[in-house]
């Protein structure tokens, strides 16, 4: 266990402040070290802090309140985090009450992205549970006047070994609260064999409420006297309002106000977009009033952006020598002198998140204070950006985190909360900003359009001796700088510069790619395009030299070793982990691939028009291999079945890991098969689910998930399943039909 933290008692008043509920008698807090976020730049630097983190409190009636300070969006964190605490605490799970933490830097990072809730908090959660247990044991020992070694905790009770007498946590809570927390070095922890909750498929704490419709998502918030706002935003990023009809919307029944949003300029950050809000006493009236606005726009410089022409330019640029950032040997020289060679260029379109719940936020501004309710992945960034927009100190902004109807990265941008806060300040009333689906599709933070180019030189013995790879896409950093025009280190660290191959001559390069829309992170981020391109090229290489794709992977990966790209010139970010933690282990990568081949049947023959495709990828410090079987018939691709193997280290809740893998396969299938955002004259062409396609039930195959049993530290789970999917799909299509798809989505080439 780590020794760089302190745990201290927290007062009832503080517990109230951090959670907005009445705290129990016995409250604990931990001091966490600061972590560098995955996106270590100005926009999220605020989520690294070094103060109070997580809290346990126990009521007199033995209710154990455990704070979840991270956002629930379907990944199961409101169950997983408390599972860890409760296990070390030896709590009675039926008495655990999960409390959603408010935004507070005291918690350390609450930014629920980067697949890191369990990865970053597993150890701390165990310490929290163990500390609380030690204090309860101490309290019981004092009460009975026996040595603490003679008592133990079990299922919400402290038991005296010799006599068998027992006291409940509730009976001991008050006395335990008076005890000085032990030092972390003095804590005792369960051995893995003693775990009762960790590693078990505990049912989600919100399940029953979901099934009865008794849940509160961001869209569900309602306050007294609240106005519902719908905002017409400029179709082109950087454009602004010229004129609009302020009177016509007010003639629509129940429309109460029309407000022009504050005019903003680049960088876009998390500011509101330029536009006009219509506020009404219900959502429908606001939407109706908005149609009467008749806004004319000054569209600005980005109105010339055409995604098709842009991608053509990227494809032309990517085949030329780029800016190298990681090199071994001389890849160009080796390529020129190679016996055989292969080259290929891969492209992906812009993508948007499309969570089932469009963004929504509610705000009240009163007496210089603002309170927000939002489906946010990032409560502290919400707090800071709202404070900035209102010109008040962030200590005067309270952020309540609702359930999230999906997030996938969209809701780690607090722009929609900023909109609500601004309108609450301007109107003096509670305001809920409701994003329509059209708003969500057309005004997102898009996954970047991209091109990747690969060249391999092969010697007479079919050995790959030279590997050149280039990537170009508009950077997320542009969103924060307004000027960045090429991929950044953090993005190149996502499945590209960390290429784990044993190649004598390697050159990893980038090219320029200016941004014209808000660019953001989406589930597995740049691993999407990099996993697709590398996984496709390995399959093409295997075909070229006449070996199986699995064998080509194993040969390229090479011997068991740790891959460290740093000596080769690349300042690899490794998902924000400190040096030495979670290294790139080729053994684990090969293991998930070998397990996949053993369990999926992907090496078995198929019918003529059917085929298997595989790929494997490490991301968020976990390892995933995927096999997909497709049928190609009458120019139509049907996905028949998918298998995935994940090594995410120790797993807290295997059922939620399985469900994340299932979801990742389906999210990946949408990307591979059908999703595409295009722009003409600077504006998004798609608007709703009829033209932004995502996978539906009849396109969803049989899915089998295998989880590697591991005692390694927990890695990421939410995202790592996505990157290998698209490559496995196009590879399967190739093996079924001999048609190689290098430009996603598949729907450009086949019916899906």
Residues 248-287 that bind other proteins (CB under 8 A): 253-254, 282-285, 287
Q: How far is the CB of 355 from other proteins (least distance, A)?
A: 6
CA–CA separation, 694 and 523 (whole Å)? 14
Question: DSSP character for 350?
Answer: B
Q: How far is the CB of 725 from other proteins (least distance, A)?
A: 11
Instruction: Tell me which of 23, 24, 29, 74 binds other proteins, using CB under 8 A.
Output: 74
Beta strands in 54-138 (DSSP E): 56-58, 64-68, 96-100
Q: Does 689 bind other proteins (CB under 8 A)?
A: yes
Question: DSSP character for 717?
Answer: -
Per-residue interface string for the shown chain with other proteins, residues 438-457, x marking contact by CB under 8 A:
x-------------------
Q: Does 183 bind other proteins (CB under 8 A)?
A: no
Beta strands in 523-621 (DSSP E): 562-563, 584-585, 610-619
Q: Does 211 bind other proteins (CB under 8 A)?
A: yes
Q: How far is the CB of 697 from other proteins (least distance, A)?
A: 4
Question: DSSP character for 709?
Answer: -
Q: How far is the CB of 203 from other proteins (least distance, A)?
A: 6
Give the up-direction half-sphere exposure of residue 163: CA atoms within 13 A in the CB hemisphere: 10
Please give the backbone phi and psi of residue 508, each rounded to the nearest 5 degrees, phi first. Answer: -110, 125
The b/e string for 204-235 (b: 16+ C-beta within 10 A; e otherwise) is bbbeeeeeeeeeeebbbbeeeebbbbbbbbbb
Beta carbon nearer to other proteins, 228 or 297: 228
Per-residue interface string for the shown chain with other proteins, residues 187-206, x marking contact by CB under 8 A:
--------------x-xx-x
Instruction: Tell me which of 23, 24, 37, 76 binds other proteins, using CB under 8 A.
Output: 76
Q: How far is the CB of 667 from other proteins (least distance, A)?
A: 6
Q: Does 562 bind other proteins (CB under 8 A)?
A: no
Instruction: Tell me which of 47, 72, 127, 585 binds other proteins, using CB under 8 A.
Output: 72
Q: Look at the block and give the residue holding tokens 């030279």.
A: 466
Run of H or E residues at 492: helix 489-492
Distances from the Cα of 346 to the Cα of 74, 269, 318, angstroms = 32, 29, 10
Per-residue interface string for the shown chain with other proteins, residues 407-436, x marking contact by CB under 8 A:
xx-------------------------x-x
Q: What dihedral angle (degrees, nearest 10) is formed by the CA atoms of 637, 640, 645, 650?
A: 110
Contacting range for other proteins; rule: CB under 8 A; set: 69-77, 268-276, 530-538, 584-592: 69-77
Separation of CA 424 from chain center: 29
392: left (phi over 0), alpha (psi -120 to 50) or beta: beta
Q: Does 514 bind other proteins (CB under 8 A)?
A: no
Q: How far is the CB of 531 from other proteins (least distance, A)?
A: 17
Q: Does 208 bind other proteins (CB under 8 A)?
A: yes
Q: Does 225 bind other proteins (CB under 8 A)?
A: no
SS3 309: helix
Q: Does 113 bind other proteins (CB under 8 A)?
A: no
Please give the backbone phi and psi of residue 382, each rounded to the nearest 5 degrees, phi first. Answer: -60, -50
Q: Does 214 bind other proteins (CB under 8 A)?
A: yes
Instruction: Tell me which of 16, 183, 210, 581 binds other proteins, using CB under 8 A.
Output: 210
Run of H or E residues at 133: helix 117-144
Closest CA to 261 of 293, 223, 307: 293
Residues 609-668 that bind other proteins (CB under 8 A): 655, 659-660, 662-667
Beta carbon nearer to other proteins, 188 or 208: 208
Q: Does 356 bind other proteins (CB under 8 A)?
A: yes
Q: Does 358 bind other proteins (CB under 8 A)?
A: yes
Beta carbon nearer to other proteins, 208 or 312: 208
Question: DSSP character for 592?
Answer: H
Residues 697-716 that bind other proteins (CB under 8 A): 697-698, 700, 702-703
Beta carbon nearer to other proteins, 226 or 592: 226
Question: DSSP character for 677?
Answer: B
Q: How far is the CB of 24 from other proteins (least distance, A)?
A: 27
- Contact yes or no for 43/124 (Cβ under 8 A): no
DSSP letters spanning 267-289: S-TTPPPSEEEEEESSHHHHHHH
Q: How far is the CB of 517 from other proteins (least distance, A)?
A: 21
Q: Does 212 bind other proteins (CB under 8 A)?
A: yes
Beta carbon nearer to other proteins, 265 or 688: 688
Q: How far is the CB of 366 from other proteins (least distance, A)?
A: 23
Beta carbon nearer to other proteins, 203 or 635: 203
* List of residues 6+ apart from 285 with CB closer than 8 A: 228, 252, 253, 254, 255
**Tokens describing residue 652:** 């807290």
Q: Does 528 bind other proteins (CB under 8 A)?
A: no
The alpha carbon dihedral of 75, 78, 81, 86 has a sign of negative
Give the up-direction half-sphere exposure of residue 476: CA atoms within 13 A in the CB hemisphere: 27
Q: How far is the CB of 270 from other proteins (least distance, A)?
A: 22
Q: How far is the CB of 243 from other proteins (least distance, A)?
A: 27
Q: Does 219 bind other proteins (CB under 8 A)?
A: yes
* List of residues 6+ apart from 482 with CB closer than 8 A: 266, 267, 268
- Contact yes or no for 575/563 (Cβ under 8 A): no
How many chain residues are in contact with other proteins, going by CB under 8 A?
A: 66
Q: How far is the CB of 129 from other proteins (least distance, A)?
A: 24
Q: What share of the chain is helix, strand, coil (3-state, %, to 5)?
A: 35, 25, 40
Chain residues in the site for other proteins (CB under 8 A): 72-76, 201, 203-204, 206-217, 219-220, 222, 228, 253-254, 282-285, 287, 354-358, 403-408, 434, 436-438, 655, 659-660, 662-667, 688-690, 694-698, 700, 702-703
């Amino acid at each position: 266990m780590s020794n760089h933290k302190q745990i201290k008692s927290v007062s009832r008043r503080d517990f109230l402040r951090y959670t907005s509920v009445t705290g129990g008698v016995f409250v604990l807090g931990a001091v966490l070290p600061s972590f560098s976020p995955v996106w270590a730049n100005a926009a999220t630097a605020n989520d690294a802090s070094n103060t109070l983190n997580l809290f346990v409190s126990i009521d007199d009636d033995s209710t154990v309140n455990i704070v979840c300070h991270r956002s629930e969006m379907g990944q199961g964190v409101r169950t997983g985090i408390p599972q860890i605490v409760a296990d070390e605490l030896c709590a009675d799970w039926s008495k655990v009450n999960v409390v959603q933490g408010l935004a507070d830097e005291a918690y350390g990072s609450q930014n629920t992205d980067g697949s890191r809730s369990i990865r970053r908090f597993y150890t701390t959660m165990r310490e929290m549970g163990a500390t609380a247990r030690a204090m309860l044991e101490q309290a019981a020992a004092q009460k009975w006047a026996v040595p603490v070694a003679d008592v133990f905790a079990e299922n919400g009770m402290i038991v005296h070994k010799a006599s068998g007498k027992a006291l409940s946590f509730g009976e001991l809570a008050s006395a335990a609260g008076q005890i000085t927390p032990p030092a972390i070095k003095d804590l005792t922890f369960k051995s893995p064999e003693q775990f009762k909750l960790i590693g078990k498929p505990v049912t989600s704490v919100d399940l029953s409420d979901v099934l009865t419709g008794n849940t509160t998502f961001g869209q569900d918030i309602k306050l007294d006297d609240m106005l519902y706002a719908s905002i017409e935003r400029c179709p082109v990023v950087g454009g602004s309002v010229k004129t609009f009809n302020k009177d016509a919307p007010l003639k629509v029944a129940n429309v109460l106000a029309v407000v022009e949003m504050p005019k903003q300029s680049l960088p876009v950050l998390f500011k509101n977009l330029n536009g006009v809000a219509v506020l009404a006493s219900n959502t429908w009236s606001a939407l109706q009033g908005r149609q009467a606005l008749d806004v004319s726009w000054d569209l600005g410089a980005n109105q010339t952006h055409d995604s098709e022409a842009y991608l053509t330019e990227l494809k032309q640029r990517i085949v030329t020598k780029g800016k190298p950032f990681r090199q071994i040997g001389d890849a160009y020289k080796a390529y020129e002198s190679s016996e055989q060679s292969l080259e290929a260029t891969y492209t992906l379109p812009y993508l948007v998140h499309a969570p089932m719940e469009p963004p929504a936020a509610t705000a009240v501004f009163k007496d210089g204070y603002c309170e927000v309710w939002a489906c946010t992945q990032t409560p502290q960034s919400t707090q800071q950006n709202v404070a900035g927009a209102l010109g008040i100190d962030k200590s005067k902004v309270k952020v309540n985190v609702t359930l999230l109807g999906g997030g996938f990265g969209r809701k780690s941008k607090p722009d929609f909360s900023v909109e609500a806060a601004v309108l609450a300040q301007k109107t003096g009333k509670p305001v809920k900003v409701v994003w329509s689906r059209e708003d969500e599709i057309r005004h997102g933070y898009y996954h970047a359009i991209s091109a990747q180019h690969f060249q391999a030189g092969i010697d007479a013995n079919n050995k790959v001796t030279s590997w050149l790879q280039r990537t170009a896409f508009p950077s997320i950093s542009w969103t924060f700088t307004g000027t960045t025009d090429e991929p950044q280190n953090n993005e190149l660290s996502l499945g590209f510069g960390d290429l784990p191959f044993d190649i004598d001559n390697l050159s990893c390069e980038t090219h320029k790619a200016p941004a014209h829309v808000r660019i953001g992170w989406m589930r597995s981020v740049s691993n999407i395009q990099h996993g697709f391109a590398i996984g496709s090229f390995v399959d093409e290489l295997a075909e070229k030299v006449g070996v199986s794709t699995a064998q080509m992977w194993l040969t390229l990966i090479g011997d068991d070793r740790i891959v460290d790209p740093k000596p080769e010139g690349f300042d690899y970010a490794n998902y924000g982990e400190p040096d030495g933690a979670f290294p790139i282990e080729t053994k684990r990568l090969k293991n998930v691939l070998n397990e996949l081949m053993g369990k999926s049947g992907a090496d078995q023959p198929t019918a003529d028009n059917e085929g298997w495709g595989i790929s494997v990828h490490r991301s968020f410090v976990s390892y995933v291999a995927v096999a997909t079987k497709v049928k190609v018939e009458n120019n139509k691709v049907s996905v028949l079945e998918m298998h995935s193997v994940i090594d995410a280290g120790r797993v807290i809740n295997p059922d939620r890991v399985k469900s994340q893998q299932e979801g990742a396969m389906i999210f990946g299938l949408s990307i591979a098969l059908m999703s595409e955002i295009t722009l003409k004259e600077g504006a998004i062409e798609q608007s709703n689910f009829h033209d932004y396609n995502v996978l539906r039930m009849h396109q969803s195959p049989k899915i089998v998930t295998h989880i590697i049993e591991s005692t390694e530290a927990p890695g990421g789970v939410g995202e790592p399943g996505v990157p290998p999917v698209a490559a496995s799909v196009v590879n399967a299509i190739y093996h079924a039909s001999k048609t190689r798809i290098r430009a996603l989505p598949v729907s450009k080439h086949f019916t899906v």
